[in-house]
Structure formats: C-alpha cells, structure tokens
Amino acid sequence: MDNRDHTGSEKRHTAMGLFLTLLAIVFLTDILTNIITAIFHIPIILESVLGGFLVISIAYPALYLLIFKPLSVEIARRKRVEKMKDEFIGTVSHELRTPLSITKEGLSLVLDKIPGPLNEQQARILTVSKNNINRLSRIINDLLDISKIDAGKKVVRHEAFDIIPVIWQTMALFQARIRDKGLAFRSVLPKGAIVVRGDVDAIIQVLTNLIGNALKFTERGSIDISLKDTPEEIELSVHDTGVGISKEDMPKLFEKFQQFGRVNGPGEKGTGLGLAIAKGIITAHNGRIWAESEFGKGTKITFVLPKNKE
C-alpha cells in the first residue's frame, strides 16, 4: 500500500508550513516591536522583553490554528480509519470462519461415522471435500495475514525467546512427511540458547513456510537448516536440492500470488502467499530475506533477524 508515501509527503508539507509560519511570526513580531518601541519610546533594555511577549501572544494562537489543530484532526481521522480496518479484518475473519467450521465439522461427523456406516466411495468423496475445506481455511488465514501485514498489525509481540527449540519444534512437525518422501533432513545449529526478541508465532510461520516450500519443491536429495549466530543478529537458511528457481522468476519470488512451475501430483497447489507473508514478517522485525537458486539444482532461502536486545 502507498500509505507510507502519503505520510511522507504530508510530513514534508507540515514541515514547510511550520517553517513559513515561524518565519512570518518572527517577521511580524519584529515589525510590531519596532513600531511599539518607536511610538512609546520604550528603552532598549525592555525591547527584548516586549519582543518575547509579542512572540508568545502571536505565536501560540497562530501555531494552534495553523498546525496543532489540523494535525490533531488528521491524527483522529487516521485513528478512526485504522480502527475501521481492524474491525473489518476481525469481522471478515469471524464471518468466514463460522460457516467454514460448521461445514468442516459436518463432514467430520459423517466421516467419523457418528450418524451411521459409510461405504468406501462415500468416505473418499467426503475426505476430499474435507481436505479442500481445510485448504480454504488456510487460504483465508493467509489472506488475513497479508492484510494484517499491510496494516502493520501482524507482528504484535516483541518478547525475548530462544530460537533453538523453536527450530526443533518446527522441524519435528515436518520430520515424518520429509522422511516419507525419502529426503534427508539435517540441521546445523550452534550449541546453547540463542535469544532473539520478536513475535514467536510469526517466526514459526516463516519457518513453516520455508520448510514447507523446500518439501513441496524437492523430489530427491536433502533439506538442510543452518543457523549462524553473531552478537547482533542470527542468519538462518533453509537449503534444498529441489527444482530450483529460474533467473527470470527470481525477482518476483517474494511477491504475492506468484507461483512458478506448479507441482503436479496429490499435494496441495498453494496460493503463492507463503513467501510474501515470510517477507512481511521478517521486514516487520527489521530483518532481511533473500533467495539463492540454481535452476534444476536447488534453492537456498536465508533470513537475517536482528536480536533487538534491550
């Protein structure tokens, strides 16, 4: 969104207005001081006192009318818009999730044979339906995350946490699926705790998206996680030996809804939001994320996260 640019040009306008107002005030009080000193023969020593008095009595109302009042009106308006945006996101997510959860539970009840027996074909059809309901709820969650990122509301916590167990836990969630595909899954992590400050759920989401991609786009070989620790930041990479990304596609990689060479087979097709979300989250932590890839050989995605020590 171009919100930030607006703020930038408005700030410049405000600064210019302030400068001109101050110039006018100095000019005006100087003239007034001279006139009053001339008319009433005020001694030189008192001239600066008079000047000061005039500056205050002119400057305050002028500044109030020209700057503070419009500024506070503008701030109030922005706050209202922000609040409406938040409420919109909240309402949409509630309104969409309720019918989804009802449908999902309906399918689960039948699949769990609670109303009665089920033949194999019925079970298969309902399983496919349920998988796609789950897919729909993931897409809704991703879309909501993207709009939260745009509104600057995705990364909300800034708490200290040890990143090492977070990596282990996320890896554990993928272990079985990666093994089933016959891929090696390794990690090189420093010994001991590494404390960073940030939103732990959001960081887990980044890791999940990166490892999920590596799994999705790798048919043979390995997936390696490595972590470099420096006093100020950590550098984490997910390196796979999969299909890779061509040079032409590289610049669009972290953009929304960009997908190249969709994978066939039973896996999920995805939406092309995973890397855009990852980038949004890392950027909100004042970090960086980038990709290196050789087409047909593999991909390495790396992010740097400042430790943000207090």
Ligand X SMILES: Nc1ncnc2c1ncn2[C@@H]1O[C@H](COP(=O)(O)OP(=O)(O)OP(=O)(O)O)[C@@H](O)[C@H]1O
Does position 14 interact with ligand X (CB under 6 A)? The reply is no
One-letter amino acid of 183:
L
Supply the Cα-derived Rg of the chain in whole angstroms: 30
Check binding of 127 to another protein (CB under 8 A).
no
Q: Which of 178, 275, 304, 305 contacts ligand X by CB under 6 A? A: 275
Residues 6 or more apart in contact with residue 13 via CB below 8 angstroms: none
115 touches another protein by CB under 8 A = yes
| By the rule CB under 6 A, 236 interacts with ligand X | no
* One of 21, 141, 147, 271 touching ligand X (CB under 6 A): 271
* CB atoms inside a 10 Å sphere around CB 93: 16
Least Å distance, CB 144 to ligand X, is 13
**β-strand 195-198 against 298-306: which pairing, if any?**
unpaired
Phi, psi at residue 17, to the nearest 5°? -60, -45
Chosen residue from 146, 164, 214, 281 binding ligand X by CB under 6 A: 214
Q: Is 101 in the site for another protein (CB under 8 A)?
A: yes
Residue 272 contacts ligand X per CB under 6 A: yes
- Would you count residue 274 as binding Mg ion (CB under 5 A)? yes
Q: How far apart are CA 11 and CA 305, in angstroms?
A: 30
> How many chain residues touch ligand X (CB under 6 A)?
23
Dihedral sign computed on CA atoms, order 162, 164, 169, 173: positive
205: contact with ligand X by CB under 6 A: no
Give yes or no for residue 295 binding ligand X (CB under 6 A). no
Question: Using CB under 5 A, which of 33, 205, 213, 218 touches Mg ion?
Answer: 213
- Is residue 106 involved in binding another protein (CB under 8 A)? yes
| Beta carbons of 196 and 308 less than 8 angstroms apart | yes
| Binding pattern for the stretch 113-152 against ligand X, x by CB under 6 A and - elsewhere | -----------------------------x----------
Q: CA-to-CA distance for 34 and 28, rounded, in angstroms?
A: 10
Of the ranges 36-44, 75-83, 193-201, 270-278, which one interacts with ligand X (CB under 6 A)? 270-278
CB of 134 to another protein, least distance (A): 9
Of the two residues 197 and 252, which places its CB atom closer to ligand X in the complex?
Answer: 252
Report the interface residues with another protein, using CB under 8 A. 90, 93-94, 97-98, 100-102, 104-106, 108-109, 112, 114-115, 137, 156
